[in-house]
Chains A and B, each alone.
Chain A
Amino acid sequence: MRVIARLDVKNQFVIKGIHLEGLRKVGDPIELAKAYYAAGIDEIVFIDSVASLYGRNNLFPVIRKASEEVFVPITIGGGIRSVDDVAQALDSGADKVAINTAGVHNPKLIEDVAKKYGSQCVVASIQTKKVPGGWEAYVDAGREKTGLNALDWAKRLVELGAGEMIVTSIDQEGTKSGFDVEVAQAINESVNIPVIISGGYGQPKHVGELLKRTQPSGLCFASVLHYKTASVADLRTVLREAGAPA
């Protein structure tokens, strides 16, 4: 199971909030990426957390610099709206793009990117909030409802050509109170592509609670790494002890 560092970036700073809001600066994205790489991270996800509000991704120079020294897979997300944006992302040194908002507004984008660059570079990003009877997909960094049932949308994204999926629970994000195991299990069992779970990790028992229910392909960690509550090696130990080879 992959141990993935998630860096949400705003105005050139890695930030951390709760429920994707109330953002606080925690460091420089390139320096943090280099530090996590040196510590043995499996993968790094950079999200421009305000990009879709402003209509553009500002992380290309960051990716360009980071990819000169970070030799693990790099995913870039936030404000990826066109095939041209994807071309620019890949040219900057990203291996994959995470697409949420633009995919909801224009599902054909997922299809077009998968056709042109292959499914392996399309990470469909789903942000979920619990609603009566299930989960709703949200866009614009967790601010806007879509009216889409998250499970149906997940299945549709696979049909469109997504090669991987990252599921962020807005309810749990930044709370350090555990993953949303219900939505993780529901989505992971609805699709046949690798699923990454993001949002909510606070302590080792949270991994156990999740893995008892479902086996995702990777887990994203943010706060614990940024605030040095746990090292990459610690997280690997946590996964191993929960029965997942990492």
Chain B
Amino acid sequence: MKTICILDYGIGNIRSVSNALTNLGAKPDITRDPARIAAADGIILPGVGAFPSGMELLHQHGLVAEIHRYVQTGKPFLGICLGMQLLFDKGTEFGTTDGLSLVPGIVDRIPVQPGEGRLPHIAWSRIARNSAVPDVMFAGLSDEQCRFYFVHSFTARDVPREFVTGALDYLGHQVIAAVQRGNVWGTQFHPEKSGPSGLAVLTNFIGQC
């Protein structure tokens, strides 16, 4: 049984990620303990809320160095929602904050203009897969089934195309739905809240662990 560590840095609703892993036959370990992190077969960085407070909490708990150390071992790492946004170089919410720089890109507010539509983008949205990259993340899913639950107001830009595994159009603006750079995965959507399709993504992740 694979042990997947869910990083506990005082942010987000981690019970649903934990429930999903249990449901899929993995063993969730909610922790910030360096020894348990190092021993895990895979790591999930969950998260909701604002970029600066997310990074601040990771620093506070000494997790930034732990994350980098872990990623260097080549073992799988998945950031979800804010956890994906923190993978990039910088966030611009409430001033500029340095991210984890595991994937190139800058996280900005989706530039929705007044009268154009609503934020947050809270919806089930169909994504378009990037056919130019190997499809591990969405393996086994049809295009129809690539429909996931999103809740966010920010998205990454300037992400090299080879790291983008899925994207969607929200009111004419590109939203990066998912990224993969080697063993580092990120999903803007919540796989743990996206029904059987989301569970399939988590199954694919566990399969790499």
Contacts and interface: CB of A to CB of B under 8 A. Distances in A.
A120 to B, nearest CB: 5
Nearest to B149: A73
B49 interface: yes
* Chain B interface residue number, banded: 20 to 34
A227 interface: no
Nearest to B115: A192
B149 A72 contact: yes
A67 B15 contact: yes
Interface residues of A, number: 28
Contacts of B19: 67-69, 71, 93
B133 interface: no
B136 interface: no
B167 interface: no
Interface stretch (B36-44, B100-108, B119-127, B158-166): B119-127
Most buried by B among A71, A93, A118: A71
Contacts of B123: 2, 194, 217
B23 interface: yes
Contacts of A192: 114, 118-119
Interface string A127-167: 00000000000000000000000000000000000011000
7 contacts: A37-B195, A73-B151, A164-B120, A164-B122, A192-B114, A193-B118, A194-B122
Interface of A: 2, 37, 40, 42-43, 67-69, 71-73, 90-95, 117-121, 163-164, 192-194, 217
